[in-house]
């Protein structure tokens, strides 16, 4: 969102778009790094092609989390029986990806509460954890998102996410021309 046009920003704010944008973030990192998915209420995994070991480790992370919902592309035989996610199927439906035209089934699971207390999970199931209860992997971005990005347009949150990306990748943001030059270097 551009901060140059105050009229545009007022229109966006009226529609709730700026508020939402300041409370949503992406983290570039290793999904196997966090110990839990706390404080997130909904975990979405576009998990087609994930190796079995990754699905198993993500299941262990999910089971330690307070997250009540999981949305993914694998059926209950795999998710519950093979990878031991503590969930039960709520709904499944067919989707078609607009870019590739691929067809898949999406499965929506809810946490199996009969197994919740057995897993040693911490926190509440509604995402309202105190910042001290948030997994350190997510904590700074969650704190900034809860504060609305710390300013009118969420620039503090954006700066944090960009810094984390640069730290994780160990490089500056690449441009098409620098990527092309890099490929030509021997």
The tens digit of pLDDT for each residue in 152-180 reads: 556 777 777 777 778 777 765 555 454 44
E strand map for 38-181: 42-44, 69-72, 87-96, 103-111
| Distance (Å, whole) CA 68 – CA 127 | 9
| Distance (Å, whole) CA 57 – CA 73 | 16
pTM, full prediction: 0.68
Least confident of 4-18, 35-49, 103-117: 4-18
Cα angle for residues 150, 155, 158 (degrees, 5° grid):
110
Decide which of 30 and 52 is more confident: 52
Give the CB-side neighbour count of residue 44, counting CA atoms within 13 A. 3
């Amino acid at each position: 969102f551009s901060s140059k046009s105050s009229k545009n920003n007022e229109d966006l704010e009226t529609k709730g778009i700026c508020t939402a944008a300041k409370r949503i973030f992406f983290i570039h990192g290793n999904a196997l790094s966090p110990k839990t998915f706390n404080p997130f209420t909904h975990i979405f995994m576009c998990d087609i092609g994930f190796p079995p070991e990754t699905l198993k480790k993500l299941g262990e992370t999910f089971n330690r989390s307070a997250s009540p919902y999981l949305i993914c592309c694998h059926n209950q035989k795999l998710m519950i029986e093979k990878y031991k996610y503590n969930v039960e199927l709520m709904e499944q439906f067919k989707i078609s990806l607009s870019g590739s035209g691929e067809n898949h089934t999406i499965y929506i699971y809810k946490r199996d509460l009969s197994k919740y207390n057995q897993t040693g999970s911490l926190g509440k199931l509604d995402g309202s954890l105190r910042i001290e209860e948030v997994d350190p992997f997510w904590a700074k971005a969650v704190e900034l998102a809860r504060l609305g990005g710390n300013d009118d347009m969420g620039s503090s949150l954006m700066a944090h996410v960009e810094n984390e990306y640069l730290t994780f990748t160990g490089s500056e943001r690449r441009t098409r021309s620098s990527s092309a030059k890099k490929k030509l270097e021997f």
